[in-house]
Amino acid sequence: MARKVRRFVRRTGRRSYRKLFLIAAEGAKTEPQYFSLFNSRDATVRVNCLKCGHDSAPPQVLKRMTTWLKKNSLKDSDEAWLVVDKDQWTDAQLRELLTWSQTKKNYGFALSNPKFEYWLLLHFEDGKSIDTSRKCSERLRQYLKNYDKGIDLRKFTWDSISKAVHQAKLRDTPPCKDWPKNTGTTVYRLVEKFILSEAGCR
């Protein structure tokens, strides 16, 4: 039987503050659903995906983040991440987001090439021979038949999340300093932050 995703349980007597991961993502549905995996009543981390409408271009993703940060504040221990796809976006558009992420140590930038679904695919296989968005979607439907209508979170076990991190790291060797120019994803860097933050509170 597949193992369920481990609940992030805070030990009694440990700090009560839950580290916040603020995420501005390109997708309005898939990304928030996926990242909700890391939220629970007993979690030591709290993941908040900013709501978005139809404006999903990188400049709009960055604008949602900066608008939130102007009205609110992050603790030094909190983190803010931009999560986008390569798709048809230009290097100039993506560079703006990368540059923003480098302005503070608790800012981050994660990109999937060709799109976020590639990160999801790595939970089930090695993702080889994927070079277009269409191929990525077709392959993912072998595991999540109706993912475009919403992903089945029961398919994502703790083991599969660890597998996805491992698969993504193999493709990101040596680690890129900006974003994957070929098929790949740096979302694993964000997910590792969730895991490390949880482990540090045990």
The structure's pTM equals: 0.88
The four Cα atoms 128, 114, 123, 174 give a dihedral, to 10 degrees, of: 70
Domain ranges of the chain: 20-199
200 SS3 class: coil
Whether the pLDDT of residue 196 is over 70: the answer is yes
What does the mean pLDDT of the chain come to?
A: 88
Q: pLDDT per residue over 158-184, tens digit each? A: 899 999 999 999 999 999 999 999 999
pLDDT at 52: 78
145-169 per-residue burial string, b: 16 or more CB within 10 A, e: under 16: eebeeebeeeebbeebbebbbebbb
Residue showing tokens 């109706």? 146
pLDDT at 27: 86
pLDDT at 45: 86
**66's tokens:** 């900066």
Q: pLDDT per residue over 49-68, tens digit each? A: 998 776 679 999 999 999 99
Q: pLDDT per residue over 111-133, tens digit each? A: 999 999 999 999 999 999 999 99
Whether the pLDDT of residue 42 is over 90: the answer is no
- The span from the CA of 145 to the CA of 141, in Å, is 4
Farthest CA pair distance, the chain: 49
- The span from the CA of 135 to the CA of 97, in Å, is 27
- The span from the CA of 43 to the CA of 7, in Å, is 7
Whether the pLDDT of residue 41 is over 70: the answer is no
